[in-house]
Structure 1
Amino acid sequence: MRTHALWRDADHTPGMTHFPPPAEELRLLDLELRQLDARRAQLLHRRAWLVTALQAAAPRSAPAPLAPPRPEASAPRVQNVLLVLGGVLLTIAAMAFTLVSWGHMGIAGRALVLGAVTVAVLAAPVPLLKRGLRSTAESVAGLGLVLTVLDAYALHEVGLADVDATGYLAAASAVLAALWTAYGLLPRTSELRLPLPAALLAAQLPLTLWAVAADASLFGITAAVLVTAGFDAGVALRVPAGSVRITAVIGAYGMGAWGVWAAGWLSWTATGPSAAARAAALLLLAAGIAVTAAWQEAAAKQALGLSVAAGLLTVAALGGTARPVLPEAWTVPVYLVCGIALPAAIWADRLPQALRDGLTRASAAVQGLALLWTLPLVAIALVGPVAWVEQVWSGAPGDVRQAMAVDAPWPPDTETVPVVLATVAAVLLLAARDTAWRTRALTGVLVLAWATALVLPAVLELPYAVGLVALAITTAGALAAAAWIRPSEQPETAEEPSATSTEEPTPTSAEEPAAATATPIGFPAPRTTAAVLALLTSLPLAFLSLTTEAATLTVLAVLTALFAAASWKAHLAPVTAPAGLAYAAGLACAAGAAAGWQPQYVALLVLVVPVAAALLAARLGDARATVPVEVTGALAALLAVALAAAPADLPMLALVLALCGVITAGVAVRPERRSVAYASAALFVLATWVRLAAWDVGTPEAYTLPVTVPALLVGALRRRREPRTSSWTAYGPGLAATLVPSLLAAWGDPQWTRPLLLGLAALAVTLLGARHHLQAPLMLGGLVLALDALHELAPYIAQVTDALPRWVPPALAGLLLLAIGATYEQRLRDARKMRDFLGNMH
């Protein structure tokens, strides 16, 4: 357009740049917009005409024909259903003929009918396959297979009725399996998919039934089952994928599971070496089948699982041979030794990698099961001593086992639990040579060594005092390990820094280099584990010491010293410092009880712990340890308050609360703990109230003024630092804390002293608010003054009201309304002045 041309010319004029004035440019824009609107209206009009013309020229279209209904079942599905149903009906008819109508014909007729029908039915699939009727051929072949079963039954009923039914069933199943296999392999019937799987199903019965018919023992029957499973495994490995392979796999796993369960039960219940050896032979047979299958390339996906099963079966076989000749306590260690020795086969380089991995996992599984067997005893050693809380200082038991179990029964045949724990720890220690698993292996070694030391005194039934010393040494050893173990270094598990990064890793402390963060994610470092184990060991030790007074004092003192000494290590302080303070609080309670002090005096001794916690938290630079230490100190303070409140000694409770206020005030000196000052003020106020209650003071001002005075001082300081602070925020809470309770007390006080003093105080507060232009004192003081005056004038108002005639109050009300209406404008002006006056206040 012209505007575009104008701007284009202005932009491309050589040697000059021309821009029109703003008014001219605005005029050009409006002109172009009007042109665009006109052009758009023209195009819309043309479009509407074209649409109308096309609609008028287009013929009316006939309605679309309805889509045919979708069939609910496809033709192949209908065909299969009909064929299966026909085969089932013919099978039922054949069975009815054999079982019911058989007796109405002679021997020759029977044989002729069944033989002719069976041959005809088995031959019928051949022409059906030639015509392409495969499904029909499969159904007829299935009917023929059923007829062969009926032929076998008829043969037994007619000529072999005296033969043993089990033996005949075994022979018949073998013959039928052979016949069905031959029928399925014939050139003309090899296309049928039913005969070969049916033959494999029939082959599951002969060996087991022959063993039963021969009155074989459970060992013989189990062997027959396992041989059948081996046969199925061989078929599954040799036959290509298809229905035969699926049937063979199902048979192998089903018969194998049955045989393994029976062999395991025979091994576990064997009462002599001979029975154990025969059961072991069965288990080794199953293991051999699994290993052979895992060795084949056709079972590559199942090789790992089969290898694990083979390893477990081998361990069960070898351990089962030694179990009958050893005491019950050594059953688990024997199996454990066999499991540990299992990976020796891995050294053979000829074994496939999957087989070696499976044997390794089987060994780990055996060790894990052995550790599960030790858990109940470890749990008793940890939790059992808690029962001494109900029997404090009732006397020392005879040995550590009695002390740990208290009244609970000791698990039988657990003498070898330390042996199992130590053995697995040794295996892990050897595995720690592998760099990739070094941290986890060392952590496992620490845990197992700790568990061994925890249960060993009870297993050996050491004297009570010796057991306490042993647990104390275990605690000290765990703390030493946590203090001196170097951080693990695992570059392959840590995050590798970027090649372009120039930032140096920041160590957590002087003693903890950045390599400490190289521990695998989700797995604790060895020294962290050692610190936790030390804490866990100290708990049963502390509870065990509750048997006698001397033991309690000694053990708690030792634990306090140990954890306090360990707290000098920065990385241990978050765990050891709170534990040391907790045991110090326990030691204070025990010392006070031993001295015969009453609980309220013991509370003063317990307050030493919050003081120590406050001092320690102020010196700790690590925030990870500061919060646990402060929380422990707060809990110790609550314990002191509870001890002081137990005997209802109010003066001592007030003293304890005041001392807690002093401690929290000292904590509030630290810049990052300024908020603790509120708790300190609350404790001081609460201590004052308790002291006043102890003096039988019932005057509310004695309770409220200790709150009001500090609150007003704090508000004045805040307004000095922040002049824009509202008077309601600075002075409102402090004034309300005294004025409101005093007003409530004055309304119920029949004397004149309290209302007079309250009125004078409210008047002073109101005047101060007016003098300094402060809303809170002015409003609160004035409201309290008005209500206090109303309380004083109420009796006289009631007397005057009774003396006046009844028409006087309405008359006075009317006069009042007239007066208000007459001076309405003046009142509004006064209200505006008062609003402006209050608005100028802070």
Structure 2
Amino acid sequence: MPAAVSWTTLPGMTNIPPPAEELRILDLELRRIDARRTQLLQRRAWLLGALQAAAAPAPAPPRPVRAPEAAPPNVQNALLTLGGILLTIAAIAFTLVSWGHLGIGGRSAVLAAVTLTALGVPALLLRRKLRSTAETVAALGLALTVLDAYALHVVALPQADTLGYTAAASAVLAALWAGYGLAFRELRLPLPLAVATAQLPLFLWARAADAGDHATAAALLATAAFDVAVALRVGDPGVRVIATVGACAAGLWGAMAAGYLSWSATDLPDAARAGALLLLAASIALVAAWLITQPPQATGAAFAGGLLVTAAAGGVLREALPAAWTVPGYLACAVALLAVVRTALPRPVQRGIAGSALLVQALAALWTLPAFVTALLGPASWAAKAWSGAPSDTGDALAVPELPAQHPVMASLVLATVAGVLFAAARLLPAAAEQPGEPPSGQAPATPAAPPAEPAAEPGSGPGSGPAGHPATKASAQPPLPDVTISGALALTWAALLILPSALQLPYAFGVSAYVALSAALLAVASRVRSKAVAFTSLVLAVTSSVSVALLALATTAATLGTLGALTALFLAATVLAARRREATPGVAPVAACATVAYAAALVCATGTAWNLRPEHVGLLMLVVPALGALAAARLGRHPLTPPVEITGAVAGAIAVALTMGHATTFALALALGGVIAAGTALRTDRRPVGYAAGALFLLATWVRLAAWGVETPEAYTLPVTVPALVIGALRRRHTPETSSWTAYGPGLAATLLPSLVAAWSDAHWQRPLLLGTAALLITLAGARHRLQAPLALGGTVLALDALHELAPYIVQVVDVLPRWLPPALAGLLLLAIGATYEQRLRDARRVRDVLGRMR
């Protein structure tokens, strides 16, 4: 290519560009060529890369890098620990094996030098910041001090008592290690080891001196006191953990030993000495609770202290008072301990002590369980020996004459005391629940404060939002704590009063009257209080005590009638009172109404039995109760008491009818009377469905009467069902024309046709099949006339089966006369005929199906 392009005049050219224009054209052409070259070079580089990637092998996956399994500090600690263990083993081996090859001076020099070296080297190591190595060497030095003490006992003091020498050596070692740890505070091992070793001296000294069980327990408690002081005053975590564990172990061991000594004491001085030990343990626990800053731990320590104080005082009272006063004595101490709630002690300490007192009271109440169960369930034994004669007293009536009289009395006293404490707690709980610094309930603060600013309203917290998440709403779903406490106190008071008549050996009549009065008082409380918890508790206790006294009254006829009459009147009065009071608990009146009907039925039954009536006559007499219940329900109307009265009356009626089952005629009469009562109930607009029960009772009464007369004809039993059923079906189709004939007439027709058909097939006479066939024919014609599917199908089926039954003997005779080959031949011809006219038969079957389908 030439260096320059010259434009020359050629033939035919008429336009030659000037030099400037030519230069511009060349520049444009060169830029176009450069751009194309750059594009081609990029494409070439991409193609080379693709070819190299296809030809080169796939790169190997990167190898996983394993993390070191042990960090350098862990490796260092492991090596140091292993080295210290090996050195300690070597020192022990030297002391036990090679000791005899040296003289006394050599032995002393070697041990002293090695021990002092091991104890002094950590100082140099700590200056060089080698703390882990210093810890290992210090541990070796501490182990050598133990070997020094052992060597000293073997060589210099071989005649010394082993326990005594161990106690002295452990005390000296604990002091030396404590001083060493205080001198080198950077070492973490000496001080915890000193505290752990300090657990041994006092206990070993007491055992070595044969000081007795009391001194041993005192030594343990003194060790626990030392541990508590260390745990509360020392800030080192390791020392505090060791001291806390030691305090718990030594304190628990010492307290248990002191408690055993108190329980096994045989005289007052022994009990006093054991009580002093228990008070020492209690003081340690209470001081710890006072000084501990964490509330849970403080409450636990105070709880243990309260139990120990109660055990100490109760053990002394147990020896000073008669044996029957043992549990009341402990209970009195626990009640006195509750006085701490009115003191200025910290709140966690108050809670712990009060909790221990309540635990003792709960155990005391549990001690009364045998006497309570005997008083509650003892009357049940009279169910098997009713009206056998009045016992001498209430204790004899409960079959508990073998129990000492003071035990039931003490049980009643204990329950009454615990109930009094709960009543007092119910009054004190609101005040105790107030936070410190708040004014008591009902008082205004001394200095009025500005009302707090209301927080900004959150989404969904406006007037339209539900209040389910509000704390007050959640709290209102549960009964307040004072109500629950009062309920518990009421239950304990009831238990105490239940035991008291048998405990005091009251006369039988007075005991029964006392139990009836107790039920009346409980019903009065249930009817008048506003608290749901208290009302429910009172109602349950009233029903329970009423059942117990009703059983207890079975001893004599007069007591039974009088008690049942009184209970009926009491529950009726409670029903009326609770129903009229707007503030009464909703469930009281229905339960009282049910109990009224139940006791009224029991009274009628007992009255009939007292008149020497037979059981079936007693059942007829008991039907008065459901009749009166039905009248009362009709009088109440749509009152909430109506369902309970009706249900309980129905149960009483069922029991009355069951009593008459032994005599068929009376049974039929009872069923008819029950049907009358049910029919009267069905007259009410809201009780129309009871009419079905009335019809069933009337039908059962008819069947029972027929059975009593010896009637065996099934139509006598089925026609009383068929006729009313067909009438009801006709009335229903009149009011509801779209009702199916199977619903309206099917049950009534089947009730007679099917049993009659079964009877006709086993009947050898001709009257029943003739009558059944005639009836079935009439029913079939009626179904065809009125285009009703059920009468047509049932009537036709029964008619065909009845005719088959009548023709069966003749068919049998014909079959016997015909040759053996004729039936198979006839069957074959029939099958051929059906096959030849198969489509026509299908059309006929469809036509019959459509005709039946158009019927109702």
Normalising to structure 2: TM-score of the pair?
A: 0.81
| Equivalent residue, structure 2, for 1:550 | 558
- Specify the SS of the correspondent of 2:813: helix
1:831 to 841, 845, 848: 845
Sort the Cα spacing of 1:280 and 1:677 in 2 relative to 1 into closer, same or farther, 3 A: same
Say which of 290, 312, 316 aligns to 1:317.
Answer: 312
Contact preservation (8 Å) 2:783, 2:789: yes
What is the Cα deviation at residue 757 of structure 1? 1.4
Q: Which residue of 1 aligns with 2:524?
A: 480
1:808 lines up with 2:822 in the alignment: yes
- Does 2:633 match 1:617? yes
- Decide whether the 8 Å contact of 1:328 with 1:413 is kept in 2: no
Between the aligned partners of 1:266 and 1:535, the Cα distance in structure 2 is 47
Residue number in structure 1 paired with 2:230:
235
Letter in 2 for 1:767: L
Which deviates more from structure 2 when the two are superposed, residues 162-171 or residues 311-320? 311-320
Verify: 1:439 aligned to 2:483, yes or no: yes
Distance 1:300 1:87 in 2: 42
2:409 touches 2:500 (CA, 8 Å); kept in 1?
no
Give 1:593's aligned amino acid. T
Aligned-residue identity in percent? 59
Give the drift of 1:778: 0.7
- The alpha-carbon deviation at position 159 of structure 1 amounts to 2.0
Q: 1:731 aligns with which of 723, 732, 745?
A: 745
Question: CA 1:294–1:784 in structure 2 vs 1: closer, same or farther (change >3 Å)?
Answer: same
Distance 1:618 1:84, change over 3 A: farther
Structure 1 unaligned segments of length 5 or more: list them: 1-48, 489-523
Deviation at 1:335, TM superposition (A): 2.5
**TM alignment of 1:506-585, pairs within 5 A:** 524-568=532-576, 569-570=578-579, 571=586, 572-585=588-601
2:143 to 135, 142, 146: 146
Contact 2:379–2:398 (Cα < 8 Å) also in 1: yes
**Structure 1 pair 825/575, CA: closer, same or farther in 2 (3 Å)?**
closer
Aligned partner of residue 726 in structure 2, secondary structure: helix
User: How far off is 1:80 after superposition?
Assistant: 4.6
For 1:764, the equivalent position in structure 2 comes to 778
Q: Are 1:421 and 2:421 counterparts?
A: no
**What SS does the aligned partner of 1:525 have?**
helix
SS of the residue 1:461 aligns to: coil
| 1:131 to 1:405, Cα distance in 2 relative to 1, 3 A | farther
- Contact (CA 8 Å) 1:387, 1:406: kept in 2 or not? no
Tell me if 1:169 matches 2:155. no
Flag the 1:752–1:337 CA change in 2: closer, same or farther, 3 A: same
Report the Cα offset of residue 730 of structure 1.
1.7
Return the match for 2:363 from 343, 358, 369.
369
After superposition, residues 56-75 of structure 1 pair within 5 angstroms as 56=50, 59=53, 62-69=59-66
1:468 aligns with 2:512: yes
Matches within 5 A, 1:650-799: 650-799=664-813
Letter in 1 for 2:517: I
Aligned counterparts of 2:561 and 2:48: Cα–Cα separation in 1: 107
Instruction: Label 1:540 to 1:713 Cα distance change in 2 as closer, same or farther (>3 A).
Output: same
Q: Which of 145, 158, 175 is the aligned partner of 2:155?
A: 158
Is the CA contact (8 Å cut-off) linking 1:148 and 1:176 kept in structure 2?
Answer: yes
| 1:514 counterpart residue number | none
Provide the C-alpha distance between the structure 2 equivalents of 1:130 and 1:756, rounded to a whole number of angstroms. 129
Whether 1:271 and 2:287 are equivalent positions in the alignment is: no
Out of 173, 178, 181, the residue aligned to residue 175 of structure 2 is 178
Report the AA paired with residue 477 of structure 1. A
Distance 1:791 1:243, change over 3 A: same
Aligned to 1:449: 493
Instruction: Report deviation, 1:251.
Output: 0.9
Equivalent in the alignment of 1:587: 603
Q: CA-atom RMSD, angstroms?
A: 2.9
Task: Describe the superposition over 1:548-570 as per-residue Cα deviations: whole angstroms up to 9, x where unpaired.
Answer: 22222221222122112222122
Alignment-derived partner of residue 214 in structure 1: 209
Tell me the CA shift for residue 620 of structure 1: 4.1
Q: Distance in 1 between matches of 2:144 and 2:647?
A: 85
The count of corresponding residues between Structure 1 and Structure 2 is: 751
The verdict on how the C-alpha distance between 1:417 and 1:622 changes in structure 2, with shifts beyond 3 A counting, is farther
Counterpart contact for 2:341–2:350, Cα < 8 Å: yes
Which of residues 376, 383, 394 in structure 2 aligns to 1:382? 376
The whole-number CA distance in structure 2 between the counterparts of 1:347 and 1:245 is 33
Q: Could you tell me which amino acid in structure 1 is paired with residue 791 of structure 2?
A: P
* Residues 85-136 of structure 1 deviation map (CA, whole Å, 9 limit, x = unaligned): 5544554554454445545554344434443443343344445555655444
Q: Which residue of 2 aligns with 1:458?
A: 502
Q: Which residue of 2 aligns with 1:45?
A: none
1:251 to 246, 249, 262: 246
Cα distance in 1 for partners of 2:509, 2:67 equals 88
C-alpha distance in structure 1 between counterparts of 2:128 and 2:638, whole Å: 89
Matched with 2:466 is none
CA–CA distance in structure 2, aligned partners of residues 617 and 821 of structure 1: 71
Q: Aligned pair in 2 of structure 1 residues 150, 697: CA closer, same or farther (>3 Å)?
A: farther
Check 1:434–1:212 CA distance in 2 against 1; reply closer, same or farther (3 A cut): closer
CA distance in 2, matches of 1:159, 1:466: 86
Equivalent pair of 2:406/2:503 in contact (CA under 8 Å) = no
How far apart are the structure 1 equivalents of 2:328 and 2:614?
A: 54
Cα shift readout 1:707-751 (whole Å, capped 9, x = no counterpart): 222222222222222211111122212222221222122212222
Deviations 1:32-61 (A, max 9, x none): xxxxxxxxxxxxxxxxx9xx9999489465
> Which residue of 2 is the match for residue 599 of structure 1?
615
1:179-217 Cα distance to aligned partner (Å, 9 max, x none): 111222223xx2222211111111011112222223223
In the TM superposition, residue 177 of structure 1 has moved relative to its aligned partner by: 0.5
**Once superposed, which parts of structure 1, at least 4 consecutive aligned residues long, lie more than 6 Å away?**
52-55
Please state whether the residue corresponding to 2:738 is helix, strand or coil: coil
Give the superposition deviation at 1:782. 0.7
Q: Is the 8 A contact 2:627 2:677 kept in 1?
A: yes
For the 8 Å contact 1:225–1:256, the answer to whether it is kept is yes
2:377 partner letter: V
Displacement of 1:297: 5.2
Query: 2:100 and 2:704 mapped to 1: Cα distance?
Result: 109
* 1:394 alignment counterpart: 388
Q: Is the 8 A contact 1:385 1:406 kept in 2?
A: no
Do the aligned residues in 2 keep the contact of 1:293 with 1:299 (CA within 8 Å)? Answer: no
1:754-773 Cα offsets, whole Å, 9 max, x none, are: 21111111111111111111
8 Å contact kept, 2:258–2:274 = yes
- 1:701 CA displacement: 1.9
Which whole-Å CA distance do the structure 2 matches of 1:105 and 1:627 have between them?
106
Q: 1:797 to 1:174 in 2, by over 3 A?
A: same
CA contact (8 A) 1:329 1:415 kept: no
Instruction: Name the amino acid aligned to 1:630.
Output: E
User: Is the CA contact 1:237–1:298 (under 8 Å) kept in the aligned structure 2?
Assistant: no
Query: Matches of residues 115-134 of structure 1 in structure 2 within 5 Å?
Result: 115-129=112-126, 134=131
Deviates more, 1:751-760 or 1:805-814: 805-814
Following the alignment from structure 2 to structure 1, what is the Cα–Cα distance between the partners of residues 275 and 101?
56
Report deviation, 1:394. 2.7
* Alignment-mate amino acid for residue 535 of structure 2: R
Larger radius of gyration: 2
